[in-house]
A and B are shown apart, each in its own frame.
Chain A
Amino acid sequence: MLMKKMPARIESLHELLAFIRNEAKKRGFSEKHLQRIELVAEEALVNVFVHGYTHKEGEVEVACLGSDEPAITIEIRDQGISFDPLSLADPDMQSDLADRKIGGMGVFLIRKMADRVDYRREGDSNIFSMTFLNR
């Protein structure tokens, strides 16, 4: 298992995404898959950056599991406020332009593009995991 820990700030995004992309690439994912993995990882990470630590600095830890499988599981761990992204309702897809809202779109894309997602709270940590199958 490979792990990377960085400050939970937007400035960490590109380095964390490059790490995740590289791990997925090692597992043989196609370019099309890599783009989706990167997108889903960005949405999950930005959630942590924006909502995780509202009044203090914190860290985020990314682990890539499943190196022996044709799959990758990305675990994102933070010690911010307890928050389950999967508890958010889907955005309203039917409303017209004037009423259309962006809230919840990130989580919606995560749900649509990852093969499996899971949230759990362990002690003082949020652990959000996303699995992609290579097929």
Chain B
Amino acid sequence: MEIAVTNETDIAIFAIKGRLDAVTVPELEQQLNQWFEGTGKKLIFDLEGLDYISSAGLRTFLSTAKKMKVRDGKLCMTRLRDNVKDVFTISGFIALIPAFDTLGAAQDSMR
């Protein structure tokens, strides 16, 4: 798994590539914890390069959504591949975190 974090204006974009599973999820958690030490209120998960997600990944997305709610921030995801979207749909998580087809639409939703 690879994570690239970019900050465009006040929006942080986490581009996650590869596999998000029980082995790799601590890496993402560490990066997120670091980000949460700041005061950012806008976060986008760009999943264009994400091949695979399991419940370990869902757990991190859920805890991120909860933390963002506490600080009255905005969280969304974009460019989900079909199989990743499947997991979000079956788990019902698609209703908890807004998903957009394009990065532009995700950014617009933050404004």
A-B contact count (CB 8 A): 55
Is B83 a contact partner of A109 (Cβ separation < 8 A)? no
* Contact A105-B22, Cβ < 8 Å, known A97-B66, A100-B62: no
CB-CB under 8 A from B56, the residues of chain A are 42, 46
Q: How far is the CA of A117 from the CA of B55 in the complex (A)?
A: 18
Residues of B within 8 A of A (CB): 21-23, 52, 54-56, 58-59, 62, 65-66, 69, 82-83, 86-87, 90-92, 96
A36 vs B89: C-alpha distance when bound (angstroms): 13
Main secondary structure of the interface of A (DSSP, over half): helix
Could you tell me if B22 and A102 are in contact, using CB atoms closer than 8 angstroms?
Answer: no
Find chain B residues with CB under 8 A from A11 CB.
23
Q: Does the CB pair A102–B23 fall under 8 Å?
A: no
A-B contact sample (16 more), CB < 8 A, given A42-B22, A109-B87: A10-B23, A35-B52, A36-B83, A39-B52, A42-B56, A43-B54, A46-B56, A97-B65, A97-B66, A97-B69, A98-B66, A102-B55, A102-B62, A105-B55, A105-B59, A109-B90
Complex Cα–Cα for A46 and B52 (A): 16
Are B91 and A35 in touch, CB under 8 angstroms?
no
